């Protein structure tokens, strides 16, 4: 993989995700619970926001030659989350695909528009950092895989849940 193929793939996945969100439409629908358990689309976006912010921060560290090591103790995990406001998603102690309810709770009183704005900024930071990194840096830090894990793979998982929910509410309204 290289940046020439990865960046367009990332953008295609992003475009598909944004099209789905545009289908959802109204802010009221974004805050309706039941999309995934008791979570709303807004909650799912908060989860995506923190995952993207996580990788954007790691990319920025690489750009500044700072070292990141995944947390290997629960106390380190707690300190990491206190410091950054999101979990260490690459720690072997964290279940990778599970949503962190602390993240959801933290974003409860933040409006959908603010979450969307922050999420867009995080995504733009990822793309900008990737454009600045060399191909060797991307390979040395396994960035194509890592960025995918924190961007378009969560988009895909979330899209499946949203599509399932949209079908269920369409069926209910018939």
> Which CATH number is 9's domain given?
1.20.120.450
Domain count within the chain: 1
DSSP 73: S
Q: Which residue has the higher pLDDT, 129 or 106?
A: 129
The answer to whether the CB of 89 falls within 8 A of the CB of 150 is yes
What is the rounded average pLDDT of the residues 38-43? 92
Token output for 86? 């999101």
Cα–Cα distance, 54 to 87 (Å, whole number):
8
pLDDT at 174 over 80: no
The residue segments making up the domain with residue 138 are 3-172
Could you give phi then psi for residue 88, rounded to 5 degrees?
-80, 90
What mean pLDDT value characterizes the chain?
Answer: 91
The predicted structure's pLDDT at residue 68: 94
pLDDT in tens, 55-70: 999 999 999 999 999 9
Cα–Cα distance, 3 to 121 (Å, whole number):
20
* Count of residues in the chain: 174
Contact partners, residue 63, CB within 8 Å, separation at least 6: 129, 132, 133
DSSP-based three-state secondary structure for 36:
strand
pLDDT band for position 105 (cuts 50, 70, 90): confident
pLDDT in tens, 18-33: 999 988 876 678 998 8
The predicted structure's pLDDT at residue 23: 86
Handedness of CA 158, 161, 164, 167 (dihedral sign): negative
Q: How many CB atoms lie within 10 A of CB 4?
A: 8
pTM over 0.85: yes
Query: CA of 62: how far to CAs of 56, 67, 137, in Å?
Result: 10, 7, 8
Helix axes 143-150, 41-63, angle to 10 degrees: 160
The answer to whether the CB of 62 falls within 8 A of the CB of 158 is no
Token output for 45? 């976006």
């Amino acid at each position: 993989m290289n940046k020439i193929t990865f960046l367009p793939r990332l953008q295609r996945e992003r475009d598909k995700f944004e099209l789905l969100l545009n289908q959802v439409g109204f802010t009221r629908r974004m805050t309706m619970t039941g999309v995934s358990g008791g979570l709303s689309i807004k909650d799912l976006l908060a989860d995506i926001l923190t995952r993207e912010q996580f990788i954007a921060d790691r990319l920025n560290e690489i750009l500044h030659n700072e070292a990141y090591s995944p947390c290997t103790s629960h106390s380190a995990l707690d300190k990491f989350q206190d410091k950054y406001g999101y979990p260490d998603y690459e720690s072997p102690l964290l279940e990778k695909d599970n949503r962190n309810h602390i993240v959801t709770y933290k974003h409860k009183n933040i409006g959908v528009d603010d979450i969307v704005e922050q999420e867009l900024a995080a995504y733009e930071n990822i793309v900008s950092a990737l454009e600045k990194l060399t191909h060797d840096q991307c390979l040395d830090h396994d960035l194509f895989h890592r960025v995918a894990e924190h961007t378009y793979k969560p988009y895909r998982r979330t899209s499946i849940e949203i599509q399932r929910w949209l079908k269920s509410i369409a069926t209910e309204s018939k």
